[in-house]
Structure 1
Amino acid sequence: MSTFLELPGILRDFTRVNRSRAVAAGLDAFAYDRVTAGLGWLTDWPAAFHAAGRDRLEAAGAADARGHRVSAGESYRSAARWFHCASWLPHPDRTLAARAAADADAAMADALARLDPGAVRIEGETFTGWLRRPVGTGGPAPATVLVIPGMDSGKEEFHGVVEALLARGLAALALDGPGQGVRAATSAPRSDYRAVVGEALDALAALGGLDAARTALLGLSLGGYYAAVAAAHEPRVRAAATVSGPYRLVWDELPPFVTDTLTQRAGSREAAREFADRVDLAAAAGLISCPLRVVDGGLDTIPGVVNGEPLARSAPRGEYLLVPHGDHLLGNARPDWLPGTADWLADRLRD
């Protein structure tokens, strides 16, 4: 069994730490409390969250049968969120996470078919994503923001972020890259995520209907590192923002949750350590020529993770937003960073 799952009091701690993240991902706070209160062991987490997702699928089917398309779409979207959250745990049975990710992907497709039928699924060798465009703009082709998830995340987690971008007239491509979401079962994390961003930008250019000269990146958690390293090497990126992104990882100091998760997703402890050793923005920071906003939470203190302040200081056009009461991903402080960061991206893409 994993080292992480053997820690004393881990069920209580994991439930508490991830509550704001789950609520920010779109889970009802009261439902989260009910589901987690019924857990006897942390190893029960995937099954319990998957069961909650199946309940939402049943509600979606019932709404569909009555012709209530919006309600069905909302229930499918809720199911996608529950399924995604079921995959967070570094459980020794990786088939559970693979099934949860696949079910999240399918439920999201069903949700978008009803709530945003103009959404386009885009896939390449290194990524799978959903492109959504703002509705009713009637103007020129919109700018686009790539929403990049982190270590144990995926495109289903950041619906709220995508909606904030759409509301400001921006298109959004939320994607799963190597080792993420629906691709976690068949690929390992890559520190050279700039190749993933490059392929996604090529796909967007080929699709048409977007302003290819106005593209930005928004990376969350480890996705912040991915966004920063891509911005350093991809000239098509007009602006970038990171949220709770690491400047550097120090393997020997990382907590068991991180090392166990990276080990599972990389395929071995050796590969995970090699990956973590490459997560270091010291060389890349000075190469980021576009505007860069770095967002950190003051309560986000993870051993072995150097937060983003050195990145903001070293990037030529970097700026730093520290929310003192924010936790990791600032799920407990969304009004203090998300509207302003969405506005910041919109402004930079209009310049």
Structure 2
Amino acid sequence: MKDPRVSSAISHWAPRFVSNGVLLADFEEVTASLERWEDWCAAWSRRAQLHEDLGRDSLRNGFRLTAGEHLVRAAIYYHFAKFVFVQDPAQMRAAHMKAVECYSDALPLMRPPGERVAIDFSDQQLFGVLRKPKESNCPVVVMAPGLDSTKEELHAYEDAFLNRGIAVLAIDGPGQGEAEYEIPICGDYERAASAVVDWIEERNDLDAERIAIWGVSLGGYYAPRAAAYEKRFKACI
């Protein structure tokens, strides 16, 4: 009999996993193999490793686009391996760092490619990923993830903007993603958002007069709050 936590995860998370890049066949196979919640992170990490290996093999053989696709998928699987797996922080963080590694390795292979960026914030740094549809003068949308989400999970939403000539800057805000270990989560997200806008204004390839902010889940609270306080945002989604 399945652990009720596993059953709950399957029933509640399937649409999110699949819409954000998990193959339905992988979701069904991995979750069917699970009986205990304690095995969740390891099971998803094993399936992530399969896609990571396919990606690295493809890269060695010169198939860059295929390599990038597999590495992005591996990153998403590692992310969902660590997703709310809070009872084992060491295992959770190890899976998270693999997600960051795979996604970072995929950045130059994407179309358009991505750039890992660091943004100064309160004597520390927030990390993000910038992707641009062209080389210069791009309007940009800042993408804010939810409570247990990360910048890597937002990959599935980016093409809607890139295909319309808008750059995307997905960030891990305070208490999110890479920042969750050292920087506490904060309700006054506008402080982080203002730091991001300051960083955008220093770039000569982004149009600082056309900045929007987008958010999902908790980010759906952060985005309008940031837009209310930070007047340099011209739109909010």
- Give the alignment's TM-score, normalised by structure 1: 0.63
How far is 1:197 from its partner? Answer: 0.8
Give the counterpart of 1:212 among 191, 208, 217. 208
Q: Are the equivalent residues in 1 in contact too, given 2:214–2:220 (CA < 8 A)?
A: yes
Paired residues, what number? 231
- C-alpha separation in 2, matches of 1:10 and 1:117: 39
Superimposed CA distance per residue, residues 5-26 of structure 1 (whole angstroms, 9 cap, x where no aligned partner): xxx7221111110001101111
- C-alpha separation in 1, matches of 2:21 and 2:114: 19
Superimposed CA distance per residue, residues 63-91 of structure 1 (whole angstroms, 9 cap, x where no aligned partner): 12211111111111111110111121243
Name the counterpart of 1:154: 150
Superimposed CA distance per residue, residues 188-225 of structure 1 (whole angstroms, 9 cap, x where no aligned partner): 21111111111111111112211101111111000111
- C-alpha separation in 2, matches of 1:52 and 1:194: 37
Question: Which ranges of 4 or more aligned residues in structure 1 deviate by more than 3 Å?
Answer: none
Name the counterpart of 1:43: 38
Q: Map of 1:100-139 to 2, 5 A cutoff?
A: 100-116=95-111, 118-124=113-119, 125-135=124-134
Q: Secondary structure at the match of 2:67?
A: helix
RMSD: 1.5
Identity of counterpart residues, as a percentage? Answer: 33
Give the counterpart of 1:226 among 205, 218, 222. 222
Superimposed CA distance per residue, residues 267-287 of structure 1 (whole angstroms, 9 cap, x where no aligned partner): xxxxxxxxxxxxxxxxxxxxx
How far is 1:119 from its partner? Answer: 2.2
Query: Which amino acid in the other structure matches residue 55 of structure 1?
Result: L
- C-alpha separation in 1, matches of 2:91 and 2:226: 31
Query: Cα gap change, 1:22/1:118 in structure 2, threshold over 3 Å: closer, same or farther?
Result: closer
- C-alpha separation in 2, matches of 1:146 and 1:197: 9
Name the counterpart of 2:169: 173
- C-alpha separation in 1, matches of 2:223 and 2:189: 8
- C-alpha separation in 2, matches of 1:20 and 1:148: 20
Query: Cα gap change, 1:126/1:65 in structure 2, threshold over 3 Å: closer, same or farther?
Result: closer
How far is 1:240 from its partner? Answer: 0.5
Name the counterpart of 2:179: 183
Q: Are the equivalent residues in 2 in contact too, given 1:131–1:173 (CA < 8 A)?
A: yes
How far is 1:118 from its partner? Answer: 4.3
- C-alpha separation in 2, matches of 1:196 and 1:122: 15
The structure whose Rg is larger is 1
- C-alpha separation in 2, matches of 1:213 and 1:77: 31
Name the counterpart of 1:237: 233
Q: Which has the higher strand share?
A: 2
- C-alpha separation in 2, matches of 1:126 and 1:109: 17
Q: Secondary structure at the match of 2:174?
A: coil
Q: Which runs of 5+ in 1 are unaligned?
A: 1-7, 242-351
- C-alpha separation in 1, matches of 2:228 and 2:45: 39
Q: Secondary structure at the match of 2:52?
A: helix
Q: Secondary structure at the match of 1:89?
A: coil
Q: Are the equivalent residues in 1 in contact too, given 2:112–2:132 (CA < 8 A)?
A: no
Q: Is 2:9 aligned against 1:14?
A: yes
Q: Secondary structure at the match of 1:145?
A: strand
- Give the alignment's TM-score, normalised by structure 2: 0.92
- C-alpha separation in 2, matches of 1:76 and 1:197: 29
How far is 1:116 from its partner? Answer: 4.1
Give the counterpart of 1:59 among 45, 48, 54. 54
- C-alpha separation in 2, matches of 1:98 and 1:184: 10
- C-alpha separation in 2, matches of 1:127 and 1:211: 21
Q: Secondary structure at the match of 1:156?
A: helix
Name the counterpart of 2:91: 96
Q: Are the equivalent residues in 1 in contact too, given 2:107–2:115 (CA < 8 A)?
A: no
Q: Secondary structure at the match of 1:164?
A: helix
Give the counterpart of 2:199 among 197, 203, 215. 203
